[in-house]
Structure 1
Amino acid sequence: MTELMKAVVTTGNGGYDKLVYKDVAMPELSEGEVLIKVLAAGINNTEINTRLGWYSSSIKQSTNATSDQTLDIETPDGGWNKATPFPFIQGTDCCGQVVSIADDVKADLVGKRVLIRSCIREQDFNSLDNVWLGSDFDGAFAEYVKVRASEVFPVDCDWSDAELGTIPCAYGTSENMLHRANLKAGEIVLITGASGGVGSATVQLAKRRGAKVIAVAALEKHAEVARLGADVLLDRSADLLAELAEQSIDLVVDNVAGSTFPTMLKLLKRGGRFVSSGAIAGPVVDLDMRDMYLKDISLIGTTAWDEPVFPNLIRYIEKGEIRPVLAKTFSLADIAEAQKEFLEKKHVGKFVLIP
């Protein structure tokens, strides 16, 4: 008799009706894999965007403009520039406990509380080819999930399961951007969308590196973002050029894009860097090439996580150098309610589902 578990199955591109909470077969382990009991699973923009098909190259709108509608996807690349494997289980963040292992996996993992590295290099770290938990194969919106043992990282700390569930996608994405952009102590970094999951992580991780942090967020969220370490806070409606002046910023970390993109290049110093892993205000931007090449600016795109990124995060957690920003928890069965509230963007940090 097949053993069953509860999971949220995303059945196709569309609205909340595509999220079906049901019984499914337990994962069966293959060589090199471990079975993890999911203790907490964070919610990210990417799960919603994947369900909607926003990553398709045929979509030009912001994520806000598409959050409650069925998109007209003209090409079958509605996942991360590839077809999404519907029906499947989403969930990119996972804090869990290892409960079973394949025969070729070291037994000392059993019983450990772990985080899963969401971004997996398919070959090795010499290739940028990657797949993502909960986007390219079954993820953590379930009672159990399986993954390669190489992507499982034990963590020893006093954080709750829900607090650890805030970490993988947001903090991994943030640390990867700062690692690639080589942010140094004493540099000035501008962070847009600073109250979101990735933004709030970036404020902390940039301060940890000794940078001066200028954070852009809605005015009502400034107090909470300040507590994360931001040195200067600006409202989303602020005239950034008037407030900061041209050539005043060493690094821009921008997952917003849209109409503000040209301003970001003007703010950068000669030799400055612009790094991004998203475009929630719109993926198509105006680029004046002169603002880029005449100032020797580097434009850095990041999706595939570099090898040091996730081990670094585990170390930061265990040494108490960062803290979680947990906004609220929901039961797994209430995923639609959680995503609806998530899209209201009234919170700071992360929402987490508990199976």
Structure 2
Amino acid sequence: MTAAVLTGHGGPDMLEIRSDWPVPEPGPRQVRVRVTAAAVNNTDIWTREGAYGSPEDPNAVSGWLGPIDCPRIQGGDVAGVVSALGPAAPAELLGRRVLVDPGLYRDGGDDTPPVGFLGSEIDGGFAEYVVVDADHVHDMTGSPLTDEQLACLPVAYGTATGMLERAGVRSGELLLVTGASGGVGLALVQMASARGAEVVAVTSPANADAVRESGAAHVLLRDAEDLAARVRALAPYGVDAVADVVGGPFLGMLLPEVRDDGRWVIAGAVGGRVVEFDLRRLYLHNITLIGSSMHTRAHFATLAGAARAGVLAPRIAARFPLTRLHDAQRAFAETRGAGKIVIGVAGRGDDARVG
């Protein structure tokens, strides 16, 4: 099969497009999914670069949870069709159009934290086929979303769901979203607005309209010198919560704009991974600082239900075939547009039970 194979940490040259990679075989309780669409995430690039650091050394070359075994097929966003079953997998899954939960969990509990990631600790969806546990596929037969739209959901919308759930964002609250034009940012805007929250979105001038169309009630420009003052003008008593996917100086700059007993949930560090802020603004105002990595099984089930109901509207910024994954990652790194970059994949279409 055709697959994009990561051979080690480093630059784009560490990613090889192979046409002779073995088709994976499902284990007893696994299924093989013929990938129809995937999508690019910052996680893919940071994993390739080994940019996650370690608790001992922020600059250490490392994957999300430590060293990555290579060769590895990346890609955490997968939509496709179940094309083969392990002997103990449910027979009704064969031929089903599915969305794949990319989380690898510590145990079978609904609220168990993830301990691994599709495309990081095991092979992912930048290939014609991927093998996953049967309980990680969600039937999308009745969803009005296209396969490309479905592929936009797992990482970005899953991460957004985890952030909103962990921060307890409710209807009527004022939520500030940083990095609002990216995949997770737009997902946060859409999903928080759907919950009835009033969203203040921080983005660039070029993406302001797209962010408004996604449901933001207020749009602020990220490069404004008086950004904190603008937030204060909208929320003189402080915002209820911040959903931050940028990190960097935003934390020190905007933490004073969170109300007493407010929440700051963070799931990214593209703006800077080592930050400085005034601890007094945190403890004197009883603000809760929440780290949120991915989602739980329960969070993803909620997301899958929304996908089946068609209440989500993922925005696609660009499309590339799998053989141009290098170009897709370059476009992702350089893009100033709103939405996700989607990878089209063509499988062979065979359906079978294995074993």
TM-score by length of 2: 0.92
Determine if the alignment matches structure 1 residue 112 to structure 2 residue 96. Answer: yes
Q: 2:37 touches 2:80 (CA, 8 Å); kept in 1?
A: yes
Residue of 150, 156, 160 corresponding to 2:135: 150
Per-residue Cα deviation, 1:103-133 (whole angstroms, up to 9, x for no partner): 1111000111101101121323364352100
Determine if the alignment matches structure 1 residue 344 to structure 2 residue 334. Answer: yes
Report the equivalent of 2:350: none
Identity of aligned residues (%): 39
The equivalences for 1:203-282 within 5 A come to 203-238=189-224, 239-245=226-232, 247-282=237-272
Q: 2:23 touches 2:129 (CA, 8 Å); kept in 1?
A: yes
Per-residue Cα deviation, 1:136-165 (whole angstroms, up to 9, x for no partner): 110000000000001110112222211111
Per-residue Cα deviation, 1:41-75 (whole angstroms, up to 9, x for no partner): 11000000000111023775xxxxxxxxxxxx6x4
Q: 1:56 touches 1:81 (CA, 8 Å); kept in 2?
A: no
Partner letter of residue 27 of structure 1?
P
Structure 2 unmatched ranges of 5 or more: 346-355
Offset, 1:306: 2.4
Write the distance in 2 (CA, Å) between the matches of 1:220 and 1:288.
32
Partner letter of residue 6 of structure 1?
T
Per-residue Cα deviation, 1:71-99 (whole angstroms, up to 9, x for no partner): xx6x4x61013111111100010001001
Write the distance in 2 (CA, Å) between the matches of 1:94 and 1:121.
18
Partner letter of residue 139 of structure 2?
P
Partner letter of residue 134 of structure 1?
G
Deviates more, 1:48-57 or 1:301-310: 301-310
TM-score by length of 1: 0.92
Partner letter of residue 36 of structure 2?
L
Deviates more, 1:166-175 or 1:50-59: 50-59
Partner letter of residue 95 of structure 1?
A
Report the equivalent of 1:42: 39
Write the distance in 1 (CA, Å) between the matches of 2:146 and 2:290.
34
Partner letter of residue 286 of structure 1?
E
Residue of 17, 24, 30 corresponding to 2:27: 30
Deviates more, 1:330-339 or 1:77-86: 77-86
Deviates more, 1:5-14 or 1:321-330: 321-330
How many residue pairs end up in the alignment?
A: 337
Report the equivalent of 1:286: 276
- Secondary structure of 1:168's counterpart equals coil
Deviates more, 1:317-326 or 1:36-45: 317-326
Report the equivalent of 1:51: 48
Write the distance in 2 (CA, Å) between the matches of 1:338 and 1:351.
7
Q: 2:263 touches 2:288 (CA, 8 Å); kept in 1?
A: yes
Write the distance in 2 (CA, Å) between the matches of 1:244 and 1:79.
35
Per-residue Cα deviation, 1:333-354 (whole angstroms, up to 9, x for no partner): 0001111111112221100111
Report the equivalent of 1:70: none
Write the distance in 2 (CA, Å) between the matches of 1:212 and 1:129.
30
Q: 2:228 touches 2:257 (CA, 8 Å); kept in 1?
A: yes
Offset, 1:240: 2.3
- Secondary structure of 2:25's counterpart equals coil
**CA RMSD after TM alignment:** 1.4
- Secondary structure of 2:43's counterpart equals helix
Report the equivalent of 1:187: 173
Residue of 98, 105, 119 corresponding to 1:121: 105
Write the distance in 2 (CA, Å) between the matches of 1:168 and 1:319.
16
Partner letter of residue 49 of structure 1?
W
Write the distance in 1 (CA, Å) between the matches of 2:57 and 2:326.
23
Q: 1:163 touches 1:324 (CA, 8 Å); kept in 2?
A: yes
Write the distance in 1 (CA, Å) between the matches of 2:124 and 2:271.
26
More relative contact order, 1 or 2 (CA 8 Å, 6+ apart) = 2
The equivalences for 1:287-302 within 5 A come to 287-302=277-292
Determine if the alignment matches structure 1 residue 15 to structure 2 residue 7. Answer: no
